[in-house]
Amino acid sequence: MAQNGRVRVAVDAMGGDYAPEEVVKGAVLAAQRDDVEIFLVGSTDILERELAKCKFSANGSSIHIVEASEVIKENESPVDVIRQKSNCSVAVAAKMVKSGEADALVSAGSSAAAAVSAIQFMGMLDGISRPAIVGSLGSFAPGTVMVDLGANADCKPQHFLTFAIVGSVYAKKFLGISNPKIGLLNTGSEETKGSEIGREAYSLLKNSGLNFVGNIEGNDILNGKANVIVCSGFVGNVLLKFYESIAGHAKDWTTNKLKKYPPLNVLVKLLFDGLFPATKISGESEKRGGGILWGVDGVAKIAHGASRAPQIANAIESAKEAVKAEVVESLKSELAKFNQGG
Amino acid sequence: MTVEEQIREIVARITHVDKGIITRESTFKDIKADSLDIVQALVAVEETFEIEIPDEEAQKFKNFGDFVSYVEDRVAQEGKV
């Protein structure tokens, strides 16, 4: 942390569907409402112009500009490009965390580029084979988290073991569950179900010493059968977006069905805007501004690509909270226990 | 342990394969290494031997043997063994 006690957040200002404009606006919003020091990483000329539009100057404020000359183009593979363009904004932001110039990285750019930058420049924790995104399922299943939510589209069996360890730490630290039940998302509950990778993952989890309860089917996700649901990033990401979309679609569908009875619209609004648990999922997701990339040696926050200024500000705030909560130190400590067989 | 043995151990650990199956002729595809595995392996080798492997050089590696030969040359040049 900075000497003044502020958390320093390096923001990939060029990453995201609405970058740099919305990212800069989000940084300004965060700086106005929160006690953080923000480093906007990207083209100095562009970022100065964007800050000026917000009537904000980097001089003497809590927002600083860090030059990163290279840009990842849409048609470039983020995995390859990070090694070729080590001065692109997300790579420079990751290097700042590694060097201690920043405490956290926030990026709304390509998740793969952020993951590669974090792996390459921040490094992996001992015992972790792949970084993963963990998320709580919120009100429908308050005691359940899912891993991975999108950092790893293709997974090997050993990656699922990493996801289980990371999810277990998350459930202990943030949900207060002392011995989290781990479930492997599959198409059936029997050990022999699913793909070859799934069956190998099952075997590894069964012999891991973790509290593995076996395969979890889709209809068990919300019933608390497992506290940590392990799946590939491909499956997790599809499932999360579907889950977050339920409330909006259910509200539209119900409103349409009941349009002949206008008095009931008040009830529909109350139900879906206030009470329906899935509404809160989207709300909570937006409030968090994305997920933390767990398993790398530092706080890396991956915001949704479509983030606008409020979501960027939330991601910065959430990154600050993760630094203050010492989530990386917690994971290191739990990994050490796990690696020693505890 | 030789440079080749060290690199073989690193690649086997990262790709989760038995090191016995990695020969000098093995390609990354043969051992089912994806792009993130390759990045992790390059980073780990760079850290182990305290060298930097430029991406344009890494892209020339056709198989494990090319990777090892490159690192052996660099290590010898820089007097690290």
Share of chain B above pLDDT 90, in %: 69
pLDDT at B36 over 90: no
**Chain B partners of A156 at a C-beta cutoff of 8 Å?**
15-16, 32
Q: Please give the residue of chain B at the shortest CA–CA distance from A131.
A: B36
Q: What is the ipTM score, two decimals?
A: 0.73
Radius of gyration from C-alpha coordinates of chain B: 12
Average pLDDT over residues A116-121: 89
Kindly state whether B60 is in contact with chain A, defined as any CB-CB distance less than 8 angstroms: no
The residue with tokens 């059936």 is A188
- The answer to whether the CB atoms of A129 and B16 lie below 8 A apart is yes
Q: What's the CATH number for A7-128+295-334?
A: 3.40.718.10
Share of chain A above pLDDT 70, in %: 92
| C-alpha neighbours within 13 Å on the C-beta side of residue A284 | 16
Average pLDDT over residues A229-241: 93
* Nearest CB neighbour to A84, from listed B32, B35, B55: B55
Kindly state whether A110 is in contact with chain B, defined as any CB-CB distance less than 8 angstroms: no
Per the rule left: phi > 0, alpha: psi between -120 and 50, beta: everything else, A186 is beta
So what CATH class is A132-243? alpha beta
Q: What's the CATH number for B3-77?
A: 1.10.1200.10
Two tokens at A317? 């705030």
Contact by Cβ (8 Å): A232, A151: no
* pTM of the predicted protein model: 0.81
The residue with tokens 């539009």 is A53
Pairing of β A132-136 and β A212-216: unpaired
Q: What pLDDT band is residue A145 in, cutting at 50, 70 and 90?
A: very high
Identified catalytic residue from B18, B30, B34, B73: B34
CA distances from A243 to A136, A222, A288, A313, B36 (A): 12, 11, 16, 24, 28
Residue B34 known to be catalytic: yes
So where are chain B's domains? 3-77
**Chain B partners of A120 at a C-beta cutoff of 8 Å?**
39, 43
Residue A25: per-residue pLDDT: 96
- The answer to whether the CB atoms of B34 and A115 lie below 8 A apart is no
Residue A283: per-residue pLDDT: 54
Two tokens at A143? 């005691």
The sign of the torsion formed by the CA atoms of A14, A320, A314, A268 equals: positive
Contact by Cβ (8 Å): B63, B43: no
CB pairs under 8 A between A and B: 34
Q: What pLDDT band is residue A116 in, cutting at 50, 70 and 90?
A: confident
* CB-count burial class (<10 Å; 0-12, 13-18, 19+) for A146: buried
Two tokens at A90? 């997300």
How close A119 gets to chain B, by Cα (Å)? 7
**Chain A partners of B56 at a C-beta cutoff of 8 Å?**
84
Residue B70: per-residue pLDDT: 97
Amino acid occupying residue B20: G
Distance separating alpha carbons of residues A104 and A340, to the nearest angstrom: 29
Q: Where in chain A is the domain with CATH 3.40.718.10?
A: 7-128+295-334, 132-243
B residues 8-47 near A, CB within 8 Å? 14-16, 32, 34-36, 39-40, 42-43
Smallest Cα–Cα separation from A93: which of A59, A75, A77, A70? A70
Residue A59: per-residue pLDDT: 67
Distance separating alpha carbons of residues A219 and A210, to the nearest angstrom: 23
Smallest Cα–Cα separation from A319: which of A173, A106, A145? A106
**Chain A partners of B14 at a C-beta cutoff of 8 Å?**
129
Average pLDDT over residues A31-37: 87
Contact by Cβ (8 Å): A145, A136: yes
Q: What is the mean pLDDT of chain A?
A: 88
- Three-state SS letters, B49-77: HCCCCCHHHHCCCCCHHHHHHHHHHHHHH
Residue A277: per-residue pLDDT: 60
Pairing of β A7-12 and β A36-42: parallel
How close A330 gets to chain B, by Cα (Å)? 23
Q: Please give the residue of chain B at the shortest CA–CA distance from A121.
A: B43
- The answer to whether the CB atoms of B34 and A119 lie below 8 A apart is no
Q: Please give the residue of chain B at the shortest CA–CA distance from A159.
A: B16
pLDDT at A82 over 80: no
Contact by Cβ (8 Å): B52, B46: yes
Distance separating alpha carbons of residues A308 and A315, to the nearest angstrom: 11
Distance separating alpha carbons of residues A28 and A22, to the nearest angstrom: 10
How close A232 gets to chain B, by Cα (Å)? 15
Window from A131-140, A312-321, B30-39 with minimum mean pLDDT: A131-140
Kindly state whether A156 is in contact with chain B, defined as any CB-CB distance less than 8 angstroms: yes
Kindly state whether A120 is in contact with chain B, defined as any CB-CB distance less than 8 angstroms: yes
**Chain A partners of B36 at a C-beta cutoff of 8 Å?**
79, 115-116, 119, 130, 152
**Chain A partners of B39 at a C-beta cutoff of 8 Å?**
79, 82-83, 116, 119-120
Q: What pLDDT band is residue A175 in, cutting at 50, 70 and 90?
A: confident
Backbone phi, then psi, for A70, in 5-degree steps? Answer: -90, 155
Amino acid occupying residue A150: G
Contact by Cβ (8 Å): A110, A78: yes
